[in-house]
């Protein structure tokens, strides 16, 4: 344990209570989850400044995997070092994991998710209100120039109307920010770190550098430990249950999807569904839809649906184990290989990203990404609203335009 891991900005117990409270409100996909952290950490508790929060979010948007959970790990690391990141990231997914594990068992026994989905239906409109509020507040504090307003609108349109791949939207926004720095640096003039709303200054100010010093030795250590923690369970399953077992296949498959899920869960779910249904035969197309409904109705990242997929697949092909034992092992192993890489990405990259905050060119590129993130969250809010407020949607197509409508 390094010195930075034990240096707390706030008392550790207080942080644990706060992260547990946040974990119970993480409905509504990444838009709702980011909204909850924005309201709790930036506006209410004043633990972190708006620009610092945006900077962390920008980095997480560049990574594969659930960006909201990675943001929780990053902020937890800023507040309480390594143990803070571990607790924040773990609590972020734990309630959803336990809930979906129980609901998967309910589905196996009763083959019905209608009642369960109905129980969570009342939560969705409240989450939608939180998301809408987050879009407005983040936009007001982040879009400090008409150029960035245009970037946000363009990002929303590119995603919502044209289906432009998420990495392209982010790359173009970063290029616009960098170009603005080169040609018109006055555009990037920042406001105060806590949004200019008259509240007290945040505990982690925007201009202070993090005390953790990135080094090659530290990076090699984190990489070695992270890869070992990630892959040892997969190796153990292959050793004891066979390389041709469903558990080894799930461990390898979902480890692969964990590093290609750029742009959030929706970007990879089609691929997961196709492979799980048509190639591996773990579940039927209808069951994939039901699993997605359950994942959208429970707290935590939407990519948690892979736990439901693995649960059903391992229950039906448990090998040497009992069906229930196989289902539990498959679900836990899949959850492990899906979320452990997130901790590795943050602990490995965050010290370097922190040092880049005062690099004008890189900060300008990240400012461009901040503007596009407003459009990304607005697009996610639109998607969530369509599937929350209306029973069915269809896609209206006209030339290059593709717009889902109720």
pLDDT tens column, 126-181? 666 766 776 777 777 678 788 989 999 998 888 888 878 777 888 898 899 889 88
pLDDT > 60? residue 195 = no
Give dist(CA 246, CA 242) in Å, integer.
9
* Spatial CA neighbour of 158 closest among 382, 360, 401: 401
pLDDT digit string, tens, across residues 210-261:
666 778 899 999 999 999 999 999 999 999 999 999 999 999 999 988 887 7
Q: What mean pLDDT is reported for the chain?
A: 82
**What pLDDT shows up at residue 87?**
96
Q: Where are the domains of the chain?
A: 12-144+190-357
* Spatial CA neighbour of 246 closest among 325, 305, 304: 325
Q: Decide which of 373 and 329 is more confident.
A: 329
306, 257 Cβ separation under 8 angstroms:
yes
φ/ψ region of 213 (left if φ > 0, alpha if ψ in -120 to 50, else beta) reads beta
Q: Decide which of 290 and 174 is more confident.
A: 174
Burial 66-78 (b: 16+ CB within 10 A, else e): bbbbbbbbbbbbb
Q: How far is CA 198 from CA 36, 46, 51, 194, in A?
A: 21, 12, 16, 8
**What pLDDT shows up at residue 134?**
65
Beta strand pairing status for 394-398 and 401-405? Answer: antiparallel
């Amino acid at each position: 344990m390094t010195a930075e891991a034990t240096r707390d900005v706030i008392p550790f117990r207080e942080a644990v209570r706060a992260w547990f409270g946040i974990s119970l409100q993480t409905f509504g996909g990444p838009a709702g989850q980011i909204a909850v952290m924005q309201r709790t950490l930036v506006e209410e508790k004043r633990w972190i400044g708006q620009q610092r929060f945006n900077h962390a979010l920008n980095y997480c948007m560049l990574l594969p995997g659930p960006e909201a959970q990675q943001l929780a790990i990053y902020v937890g690391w800023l507040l309480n070092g390594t143990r803070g990141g571990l607790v924040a990231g773990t609590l972020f997914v734990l309630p959803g994991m336990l809930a979906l594990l129980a609901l998967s068992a309910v589905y196996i026994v009763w083959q019905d998710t209608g009642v369960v989905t109905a129980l969570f239906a009342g939560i969705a409109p409240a989450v939608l209100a939180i998301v809408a509020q987050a879009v407005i507040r983040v936009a007001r504090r982040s879009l400090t120039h008409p150029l960035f307003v245009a970037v946000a609108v363009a990002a929303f349109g590119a995603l919502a109307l044209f289906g432009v791949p998420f990495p392209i939207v982010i790359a173009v926004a970063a290029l616009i920010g960098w170009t603005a720095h080169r040609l018109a640096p006055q555009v990037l003039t920042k406001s105060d770190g806590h949004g200019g709303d008259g509240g007290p200054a945040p505990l982690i100010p925007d201009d202070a550098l993090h005390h953790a010093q990135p080094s090659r030795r530290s990076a090699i250590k984190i990489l070695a430990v992270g890869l070992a923690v990630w892959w040892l369970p997969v190796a153990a399953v292959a050793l004891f249950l066979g390389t041709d077992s469903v558990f080894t296949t799930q461990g390898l498959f979902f480890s692969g999807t964990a590093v290609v899920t750029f742009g959030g869960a929706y970007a990879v779910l089609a691929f997961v569904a196709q492979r799980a249904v048509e190639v591996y035969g773990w579940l039927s197309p209808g069951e994939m839809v039901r699993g997605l409904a359950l994942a959208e109705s429970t707290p935590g990242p939407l990519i948690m649906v892979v736990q439901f997929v693995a649960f059903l697949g391992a229950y039906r092909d448990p090998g040497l184990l009992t069906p229930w034992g196989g289902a539990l092992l498959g679900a836990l192993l899949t959850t492990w290989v899906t979320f452990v890489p997130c901790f590795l990405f943050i602990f490995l990259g965050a010290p370097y990203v922190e040092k880049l905050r005062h690099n004008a060119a890189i900060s300008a590129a990240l400012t461009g990404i901040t503007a596009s993130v407003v459009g990304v969250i607005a697009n996610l809010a639109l998607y969530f609203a369509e599937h929350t407020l209306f029973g069915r949607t269809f896609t209206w197509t006209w030339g290059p335009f593709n717009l889902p409508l109720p």
